[in-house]
Amino acid sequence: MVDGIAAVPDGSPPARFTSRRAGIAIEGLEPIERGFVEMRYGFAELEERYARLAEMGRAVDWKGGSFEEFDLRSFLEEVLPTLQFPAPHPRAMEYGTGTGPGACFLAARGFRVEAIDISPTAIQLARRFATERGLEITFEVADICDIHCGERRYDLVVDNYCLQRIASNQRREQALQTVRCLLAVGGHFLIGTVLAREGRDYGEDRLDARTGIRYRRLGEDAEKYEDAVRLDGAWYVPIRRYLRAEELRSELEEAGFEVVRQRGGQVVCVVRRRAA
């Protein structure tokens, strides 16, 4: 698993970060491992986005595009018929549901669906769009990195383009451990995530090519974010994580999954069982 912070962006010399807490420059420091800053930072922006979508007066996905043709649809259509489920109405859990297009797709196909998102506004919309379609889905505001799996078990867990928004190693590990725990024996974990892409333009953001972490430059309000890191005289927060395909695979394997199929950022996994 890649780690730490050193080079930004491709080809540029190793950078020195100053952590707000430590107040000193330390090469290879890992400031993002201390908290949930990538969520706290983007929260207001996310809520504004979903509030704008609410005004559109029709069901849309998180981009304001078609609710029916959401990003993960073709992958689900391709993969679901190849999976075996123990009962006619398998239990499914989707995280990063947004306005719920994936959850509705699954419920319309007979899954008993529970879905979560960290955005309360997205969850309100998801409930509305599901009700409009006559679908019974349990939607909750929750963070996949924070929930306790308890007694709940699912035949299917779906990451619907959420993982790239979880930047730190610690939170990604928490999310994957939770998924492992949530899966019933024989259950499947389907992932759609954004991978690193050569030549992508990050605008004012900076990419740490070694870790795949994308940083957003902070303005005057940098003081608000305790996990902000200082680079070349400016403050940044980590907002995304774009791994390469083989890094994603290693991360999943290290977290105890067996990757049974992978096409880029679209992956089918099962929990690796110990040899008898």
Ligand X SMILES: C[S@@+](CC[C@H](N)C(=O)[O-])C[C@H]1O[C@@H](n2cnc3c(N)ncnc32)[C@H](O)[C@@H]1O
- Measured in degrees and rounded to the nearest 5, phi and psi for residue 224 equal -70, -20
Among 122, 183, 191, 207, indicate the residue that binds ligand X (CB under 6 A).
Answer: 122
Which of positions 154-183 make contact with ligand X (CB under 6 A)? 160-162, 165-166
b/e per residue 23-61 (b: at least 16 CB within 10 A): eeeeeebbbbeebbbbbebbeeebeebbeebeeeeebbb
Q: Which of 32, 37, 116, 190 binds ligand X (CB under 6 A)?
A: 116
Give me the 69-108 binding string for ligand X, x by CB under 6 A, dash otherwise: -xx-----------------------xxxxx-xx------
The amino acid present at 140, given as its one-letter code, is E
Q: Which of 17, 31, 32, 62 binds ligand X (CB under 6 A)?
A: 62
Contact yes or no for 240/215 (Cβ under 8 A): no
Asked if 238 interacts with ligand X (CB under 6 A), we say no
As measured in angstroms, the least distance from the Cβ of 180 to ligand X is 16
Residue 265 touches ligand X, criterion: CB under 6 A: no
- Tell me if 9 sits within 8 A of 203, measured CB to CB: no
Which residue is associated with the tokens 């698993």? 1
Give me the least distance between CB of 65 and ligand X, in Å please.
8
> Kind and range of the H or E element at 186?
strand 183-192
32 lines the binding site for ligand X (CB under 6 A): no
By the criterion CB under 6 A, which residues form the site for ligand X? 46, 61-62, 70-71, 95-99, 101-102, 116-119, 122, 143-145, 160-162, 165-166
